[in-house]
Amino acid sequence: MVKAVFPGSFDPIHYGHIDIALRAAQLFDEVIVAVYDRPLKNLIFSPEERITLVEEAFRDYPNIHVMGYSGLTVDFCHQVGAQVIVRGLRVFSDFENEFRMALANHRLAPDIEMVMLITNEEHTFLSSTTVREIASLGGDVTTMVPPHVDKALKACFARMSQTQQMSHLKSLRD
């Protein structure tokens, strides 16, 4: 049985992520979508909120499970008995980052393989940053995220605009 971990911040999950997880679920017996609790990024959703949004996205897929984690991804893989880390690639800059991360992970844990899936062309431009920026300005993200995520984004930005917390959004990166 081959178990794969698909790690990320998922702030929030969008159709590009969902496509990668569903394709991985056809290649591997089990996929754990692993929500990293504290990446070096400004986040709009808490770890619990991000996990709930991811869980809802994969509710109908019995071989996809969702877990939160902290620390090194390779340590998490060992804890859950996963042999593979899945990542998605969109543009050349993704490749450079993933290439470096794959070599570092391989140094730390030679027993774990990294598998990169190329994005579906309709999702090439899609990132959590793009989704957050459009949603924060009241734009329509319904072709980019599932309805429950759209709802959560609207609630989040309504809350932020009431408490004037929007300024830190400018420095967000994906």
- Residues marked as catalytic: 17, 41, 90, 128
Site membership for ligand ADP, residue 90 (CB under 6 A): yes
Query: By CB under 6 A, is residue 37 in contact with ligand ADP?
Result: no
Instruction: Establish if 9 lies at the interface with ligand ADP (CB under 6 A).
Output: yes
H-helix segments, 86-127 = 92-108
Pairing between β-strand 64-69 and β-strand 84-89 as defined by DSSP bridges = unpaired
Binding of ligand ADP by 55 (CB under 6 A)? no
Question: In the complex with ligand ADP, which residue's Cβ is closer, 42 or 161?
Answer: 42
Nearer to ligand ADP, 97 or 161 (CB): 97
Span of 12-20, 60-68, 140-148, 151-159 interacting with ligand ADP by CB under 6 A: 12-20
Among 18, 47, 82, 87, binds ligand ADP (CB under 6 A): 87
Q: Does 73 bind ligand ADP (CB under 6 A)?
A: no
CB 68 within 8 A of CB 37: yes
49 belongs to the binding site for ligand ADP (CB under 6 A) = no
**Residue 71 within binding range of ligand ADP, rule CB under 6 A:** no
Contacts 24+ apart (CB under 8 A), 7-10: 7/34, 7/36, 7/69, 7/73, 7/76, 7/85, 7/87, 8/33, 8/34, 8/35, 8/36, 9/35, 9/36, 9/39, 9/41, 9/43, 9/50, 9/128, 10/35, 10/50, 10/53, 10/54, 10/128
Are 101 and 26 contacting, i.e. CB atoms less than 8 angstroms apart?
no
- Residues at the contact surface with ligand ADP, assessed by CB under 6 A: 8-10, 16-17, 20, 39, 87-88, 90, 94, 119, 123, 126-128, 174
